[in-house]
Chains A and B, each alone.
Chain A
Amino acid sequence: VIGTQMVGPSIIAHGTVRQKTTFLPRILTGDDIWCQGFSEPNAGSDLASLETRANRVEGGWLLKGQKLWTSRAHTASEMIVLARTNAEAPKHRGITAFLVNMASPGLTVRTVRQINFNDEFNEVFMDDLFVPNDRVLGAVDDGWNVAVNTLNSERIATTRAFEARRLVADLAHADEGIDSQVLEDLTMRAYAAGLTLQRYAAEAERSDIGSKASVTKLNSSELTVEVARAGALGDPSLSAGLPLKEGRPLSWGGLYLNNLKNTIAAGTSQVQRNVIAQRILGMPREGAVR
């Protein structure tokens, strides 16, 4: 998903001809698995305050810093990395995007254990990792625009409207003794969420829908938590509890824990609400002075 729906579109939008011919076919064939080196210990929702540095050297750049919550870094072959290339520029302006090979010397991956015992999260350490010039994506110091493109693609990719519908259908099918009014309410919302996604997708074919992807991302990610929670709380069998070790069969409890990441990853629900308030409703930004 990161390759086909996030990095791919960014390479199409910002890459050189050579980057497109090198990377795009391998994304489509699945030869390259991509991960996303954006978040850092001190740069989560406030991504632009990232601290990983890239210093110019002969023929390329040396990267030094740490990335966090890098999903599937332990199995990926390539990583898109944001690093600061100009410490003097305003924080959104001095960032550059790099396409990093995971086998590069100076790169270490450490897995972080997740609450659902299904470990995909990693820390990635870069210690004078060399990246050649032809692996800079977009213009130097223009990485924020690349990131915005990737993040907008990510919000569409992480719209979980149809996943929510499938969960609701599974819940109805499982007949776990869920209160029928609760189930009907969740069904109605999943039905609407899917229709909203289809409505925006049709609109996106005609014009730029800007931040509207945030609406379906927010809405559907919260819905996947609520549906799985209803399943976990409604299922009286002991095996439906919250998993405490790896390899348990998929249960409503396991899904519930798993889905909690949906409202954090790709912009937390709170950040999405800020984005919608300011960019769609047109409410004033913080710092606005009258």
Chain B
Amino acid sequence: MTIDSDDLREFASTVRDLASTVADGDPFLSGASDVPTLSPRSCREAAVKLGVTALLVDEPSAGLGGTAADAGLLVGPWTSTLLTSDLSETLAVQFLLRRVESDAATDLLQQTMAGAATVRLPLLSNGGSLRAPGDGERMHGDALVDVSGATDDAIVLVMPATRDAGSRLFVGEFSMAAMAAPRDPVDPSRDLRLCDSSKVDVRPIAPLSDEDLDAVDRFRLTLTAFECIAGAQRVLEQAVRYSHERTQFGRPIGTFQALQHLLVDVHLKVEDALSLATRSAALIGDVAPASAEGRYAANVACLSAAEAYRSAAESCIQVHGGIGFTREITAHLHLRRAVGTIRLLKNHRRLSTTPPPSLVEGWRRTT
């Protein structure tokens, strides 16, 4: 079911207002604090209730039954105010939803929807360097987790991991106190932690198919693209606003074509990224192997959206001139978020930009 678009717009506007209220009250995000640490976000609980996680869960499981395109509208407001959406929770829930025939998966899903458990999916590719344990072995490897806004003492990590015999979904409970912040974080507006998987008991709860892994990964890339696009639109608006306010040579600097053309080129990138993300969202329902275009659309949507975000943030700093190089404005935080996202994507694995041959071959026949 697709949510009626007027309802969704109203919903998105509620989320946007909520995000703005929280951002205005946050001393770090409002630029009043020099200290790159995060303050607690009281909005978190509300965000989970209002946010993408619930939107994408079907109605019998206490969700709203929305589509990926609906979700794209909702993740934006969070990034545009530099908060973190509930994306990594959403993705964990998506895995659980795909495996509801497992009692353990269903239990955890119900606890999550009732607010009794905090679940997260690690940020790197389907578990990244995590190695599935053999019989009697412990799991290996660090999971990078976004714990922004988590208020519980412990979180449940939902970890897909692969071994010769195939892929499985593992879960393990990590205490917040035991997780270390990664060294040299690029983006202080996102609370990333390293979880050493060998230090806790993890248990397999369900087998996973390649289709499951592909679908959730495309979800991740598509919603990340929507986040980046919203951030890019926000910094572009900031740059345009400042181009009206700042006067040099007796006129607003925005009247100079050099600046106009700079920002138009950013706008073109953002619009193309939005088209790719929209297409990718529309193809989410397609399953492999028929989803060659879906996989391609997800990859290029995410890559071009992250690149558009970086380009928009850099241009915003440039248009602001000297003040753009200070912490007086939030453009640098957006640049950090964009660069952080690009780095996570690169660590994720090389996202292929090779198009499916059938897609390109089809273009030869267009007149």
Contacts and interface: CB of A to CB of B under 8 A. Distances in A.
Interface of A: 162, 165-166, 168-170, 172-173, 184-185, 187-196, 198-199, 215, 218-219, 270, 273-274, 276-278, 280-290
Given A162-B363, A191-B355, A281-B263, 18 more contacts: A166-B363, A168-B363, A169-B363, A170-B364, A173-B361, A188-B353, A190-B363, A196-B274, A198-B275, A199-B274, A215-B268, A218-B264, A270-B261, A282-B240, A283-B244, A286-B251, A288-B252, A290-B251
Contact of B257 (A165, A168, A191, A273): A273
B81 to A, nearest CB: 21
A267 to B, nearest CB: 13
Contacts of B367: 162, 166
B273 A192 contact: yes
A162 B321 CA distance: 39
A276 B361 contact: no
22 contacts: A166-B364, A169-B362, A169-B364, A184-B354, A185-B353, A187-B353, A188-B300, A188-B353, A190-B363, A194-B363, A195-B275, A195-B278, A215-B267, A273-B260, A273-B261, A277-B254, A281-B236, A281-B263, A284-B254, A286-B257, A288-B254, A290-B252
Nearest to A198: B275
B360 interface: yes
A173 to B, nearest CB: 6
B276 A192 contact: yes
Contact of B247 (A198, A199, A273, A290): A290
Interface string B104-148: 000000000000000000000000000000000000000000000
B240 to A, nearest CB: 5
Contacts of A198: 275
Contacts of A168: 360, 363
A184 B364 CA distance: 16
Interface in B334-367: 353-355, 359-364, 366-367
Contacts of B366: 162, 165-166
Given A172-B360, A188-B304, A276-B267, A196 B272 contact: yes
Contacts of A287: 255
A173 B366 CA distance: 15
Contacts of B275: 192, 195-196, 198-199
A248 B359 CA distance: 31
Given A172-B360, A273-B260, A192 B304 contact: yes
Chain A residues touching B, majority SS: helix
Contact of B355 (A184, A283, A288): A184
B260 A277 contact: yes
B243 interface: yes
B271 interface: yes
A169 B366 CA distance: 10
Interface of B: 236, 240, 243-244, 247, 251-252, 254-255, 257, 259-261, 263-265, 267-268, 271-276, 278-279, 296, 300, 304, 353-355, 359-364, 366-367
A280 B265 CA distance: 13
B364 to A, nearest CB: 4
Residue of B247, B260, B263, B366 contacting most chain A CB atoms (<10 Å): B260
Contacts of B247: 290
B28 to A, nearest CB: 29
A166 to B, nearest CB: 5
Chain B residues touching A, majority SS: helix
A238 B275 CA distance: 39
B272 A278 contact: no
Contact of A284 (B243, B267, B272): B243
Given A165-B366, A270-B261, A281 B278 contact: no
A192 B272 contact: yes
B307 to A, nearest CB: 10
A192 B360 contact: no
B363 A219 contact: no
Contacts of B259: 283
Residue of A172, A173, A281, A286 contacting most chain B CB atoms (<10 Å): A281
Contacts of A194: 363
B264 A195 contact: no
Contacts of B257: 270, 273-274, 277, 286
A196 B271 contact: yes
B254 A283 contact: yes
A276 B254 CA distance: 13
A218 B268 contact: yes
Nearest to A277: B260
A283 B260 contact: yes
A172 B261 CA distance: 31
Contacts of B271: 196, 215, 219
Nearest to B265: A273
Contacts of B360: 168-169, 172, 187
A79 to B, nearest CB: 27
A169 B278 CA distance: 23
Nearest to B260: A277
Contacts of B273: 192
B270 to A, nearest CB: 10
B219 to A, nearest CB: 19
A168 B236 CA distance: 30
A162 B366 CA distance: 7
B243 A283 contact: yes
A234 B354 CA distance: 19
Contacts of A280: 267
A191 B243 contact: no
Contact of A281 (B264, B274, B359): B264
A219 B272 CA distance: 9
Given A218-B268, A281-B240, A288 B261 contact: no
Nearest to B300: A188
Contacts of B354: 184
Nearest to A184: B353
Contacts of A282: 240
Nearest to A287: B255
